[in-house]
Chain A
Amino acid sequence: MASSFTRLISGRNKAILLAGLGAGTMATGFLLSESGSLSAEAKTKLYPPSSDYPDLRKHNNCMASALTPAIYAKLRDKVTPNNWTLDQSIQTGVDNPGHPFIKTVGCVAGDEESYEVFSDLFTPVIIDRHNGYDPKTMKHPTDLDASKITNGIFDENYVLSSRVRTGRSIRGLSLPPACSRAERREVERVVVTALAGLKGDLAGRYYSLGDMTEQEQQQLIDDHFLFDKPVSPLLTCAFMARDWPDARGIWHNNEKTFLIWINEEDHTRVISMEKGGNMKRVFERFCRGLKQVEHLIQERGWEFMWNENLGYILTCPSNLGTGLRAGVHVRLPKLSKDARFSKILDNLRLQKRGTGGVDTAATGDTFDISNNDRLGKSEVELVQLLVDGVNYLIDCEKKLEKGQDIKVPAPVPQFKK
């Protein structure tokens, strides 16, 4: 490194010194009459934060709402201990102005420390996205005791399948937007080694995306397990598809009811699912599996990223807290045509999606119904909300079948003042 650099920088030492002294335009003129580009340090002085502040006038995402020129100026030159910057965090939000109806988040964390170093941005984003939850003053409850769930078995005339998912990050390794190939491979190694220790109904195997056979690939597609290289610009502009498919893969148990994605949008995504309406059993397996995986990585000196204000730390601020989406595929032919359907969902803190997942439309009368919230309520609370909510929806459907009227329920309390 030294030899090629001395050749390059010897003529510019004076220039860089002058820039360092803040000699302004004179230094600029001198610098630019030299042979090449500015050094990173000189650039910082020549381009003040105002010259770099993004044009967010057409933008509608949480980052654009929160990022003032003052906050940008304060944070632009900071770096996390892994050298992740603000510009990298917000790139996805700058590149994707958003949809007039859907408010995307528009920023990602590159590592655990991002949420602290850039908290002047992330805190208002979190408050906005999570209905008033303030990580500076509030504590997030974690509760993975599935035995507390009541009424968790749904009428299978209506509920076709049940599923719970979350994400977990391995502390000490950078997140998907920032990780190097070595870090990503280390995540894969740590997780796959731990999963090999699962036994009984959780025993299973790993399929690396790069090494899988065509047959294995087809089977995983048929099981609805396979994830693909991200095409959404929300993810690609956040650098999450780099080096694809290196160190990406899918692990699932032999019974195909417990599934883990490695190195997609988060270090891991953990999914428990089955056909039918036994959400209680799905959640029970979810909690048991998560705890066992955690134990297995701890045996080797690793742990999940977690703190008492943000709960589990994940790449996207929208998934902080529990990172939990519990949902069902449910048939609601009559209720879905009722004008009050959206309001009922809102008040129950539920959201609807098509059965292809986020951004898909519903086909026929079958909907994916899941919890809206992630942060500020525990896993048990959120799953119970989902359970109570889905039971309420089924009840409405049954009432409409009998020609009876339905009521819009009172809204579940939130944090907003």
Chain B
Amino acid sequence: MAKNCHNDYKMKFSLDDEYPDLSLHNNHMAKVLNKEIYGKLRGKSTPSGFTLDDVIQTGVDNPGHPFIMTVGCVAGDEESYEVFKDLLDPVISDRHGGYKPTDKHKTDLNFENLKGGDDLDPNYVLSSRVRTGRSIKGFTLPPHNSRGERRAIEKLSIEALSSLEGEFKGKYYPLTGMTDAEQEQLIADHFLFDKPVSPLLTCAGMARDWPDGRGIWHNDNKTFLVWVNEEDHLRVISMQKGGNMKEVFRRFCVGLQKIEEIFKKHNHGFMWNEHLGYILTCPSNLGTGLRGGVHVKLPKLSTHAKFEEILTRLRLQKRGTGGVDTASVGGVFDISNADRLGSSEVYQVQLVVDGVKLMVEMEKKLEKGESIDGMIPAQK
């Protein structure tokens, strides 16, 4: 059911009285929103009942961090990106390097287009992983969907995933009613996701009715994993130990395409358009929604004065091995692509493959006490 759908009632209050106090805020929404835009959009609503206040609530409630720029707004359905474009287009532009409302996004899930990626040194690269998200047409998104919709998404996902075969044959574990043994195994495999505690997510309404309709599916080989109804309808993850990113990406592309075929047969394809690519809940994940990365040992390079600059030039980002918002442990970093929108999946994974290969070579040079000044790359 629509949340906060008393928009017509709110319209009787003045713009000034309703306009949020964003004076202490530092997120993309707060930088873009002004009274003019608020005035223009406050009376609107998507067909399913999502409003501007719904879009921005998470950004109002979470002023942000002085160093990390959060997005501060979410979509409640596919139409949000259209109805609230006066806010979301500039947010998208800020977040995605100047992406314009007229730009077109390229989708390329043809794994054969990736060059190399099967020879990252496993002495340094401990594991490789590619993840993305997918939203299912005809349903509203996690900030907005009702229990009925969420359950329908789960049901459809189970049907689609249970029909997979071969290397993709697997099993679904609903969060409701999971046994202790199953739970411990999923934790040990690093597969289990928990009820969101981050206020960025809870203030956007994404944890409602937990754990109803949520679950985890993975293949028997434990190399292909799907999260159902967490921050997006689906999060799809391909992973394995070692440095064979080529294989990880192949499995990612093949698995995704198989899943998409099945959803399409049920008249529920994935949300996608040629401007924004794959439509996801958070504007930061538009385009490919892809984060391809490795856990890599870079104890020397990571303390080098030019480490941050090298990452920036390679269009890569670092995180701790616990994922976003964690610190690195023992010189091991999670290195992944920074971009999502405006370049294809193949292009983004290629950046990771080439960039990590270069950084491992730099690490080896530093181990020998040699300089890496000649190896600093140009801005990609």
Does A182 reach chain B (CB closer than 8 Å)? Answer: yes
Interface residues on A, range: 35 or more
Partner pick for B48 among A37, A48, A183, A241, CB 8 A cutoff: A37
Partner pick for A182 among B1, B13, B48, B209, CB 8 A cutoff: B13
Contacts of B19 in A (CB 8 A): 181
Does B191 reach chain A (CB closer than 8 Å)? Answer: no
Is A181 touching B20 in the complex (CB atoms < 8 A)? yes
Is A37 touching B83 in the complex (CB atoms < 8 A)? no
Is A47 touching B20 in the complex (CB atoms < 8 A)? no
Within 8 A of A (CB), among B191-230: 202-203, 207-210, 212
Does A20 reach chain B (CB closer than 8 Å)? Answer: no
Is B79 touching A36 in the complex (CB atoms < 8 A)? yes
Contacts of B5 in A (CB 8 A): 40, 83, 85
Is B6 touching A178 in the complex (CB atoms < 8 A)? yes
Is A243 touching B13 in the complex (CB atoms < 8 A)? no
CA distance A85 to B49 in the complex (A): 13
Is A55 touching B48 in the complex (CB atoms < 8 A)? no
Does A115 reach chain B (CB closer than 8 Å)? Answer: no
Residue in B closest to A58 when the chains form the complex, CB atoms: B176
Stretch in B120-128, B139-147, B328-336 with 4+ CB within 8 Å of A: B139-147
Contacts of A85 in B (CB 8 A): 1, 5
Contacts of B138 in A (CB 8 A): 31-32, 36-38
Is A185 touching B17 in the complex (CB atoms < 8 A)? yes
Does A76 reach chain B (CB closer than 8 Å)? Answer: yes
Contacts of B49 in A (CB 8 A): 40
Does B82 reach chain A (CB closer than 8 Å)? Answer: yes
Does B151 reach chain A (CB closer than 8 Å)? Answer: yes
Stretch in B53-61, B87-95, B105-113 with 4+ CB within 8 Å of A: B53-61
Given contacts A8-B82, A243-B20, contact A1 B44 (CB under 8 A): yes
CA distance A181 to B147 in the complex (A): 27
Given contacts A37-B47, A52-B148, contact A246 B21 (CB under 8 A): yes
Residue in A closest to B12 when the chains form the complex, CB atoms: A182
Number of residue pairs across A and B with beta carbons under 8 Å?
Answer: 130
CA distance A354 to B203 in the complex (A): 30
Does B284 reach chain A (CB closer than 8 Å)? Answer: no
Is A183 touching B13 in the complex (CB atoms < 8 A)? yes
Partner pick for B57 among A1, A40, A87, A242, CB 8 A cutoff: A242
Contacts of A48 in B (CB 8 A): 148
Contacts of B171 in A (CB 8 A): none
Is A52 touching B147 in the complex (CB atoms < 8 A)? yes
Residue in A closest to B271 when the chains form the complex, CB atoms: A36
CA distance A338 to B203 in the complex (A): 46
Does A283 reach chain B (CB closer than 8 Å)? Answer: no
Does B323 reach chain A (CB closer than 8 Å)? Answer: no
Contacts of B9 in A (CB 8 A): 81-83
Partner pick for A244 among B10, B17, B61, B202, CB 8 A cutoff: B61
Contacts of B149 in A (CB 8 A): 43, 47
A-B contact pairs, 8 of them (CB 8 A): A4-B83, A8-B83, A40-B2, A40-B5, A84-B6, A87-B1, A186-B13, A246-B20
> B interface vs A, CB < 8 Å?
1-3, 5-10, 13-14, 17-21, 43-44, 46-49, 53, 57, 60-61, 77-79, 82-83, 137-140, 146-149, 151-152, 176, 202-203, 207-210, 212, 267-268
> 13 more A-B contacts (CB under 8 A) besides A33-B267, A43-B1, A243-B21?
A37-B139, A38-B48, A40-B48, A47-B146, A52-B146, A52-B148, A85-B1, A85-B5, A91-B208, A95-B208, A95-B210, A182-B18, A243-B61
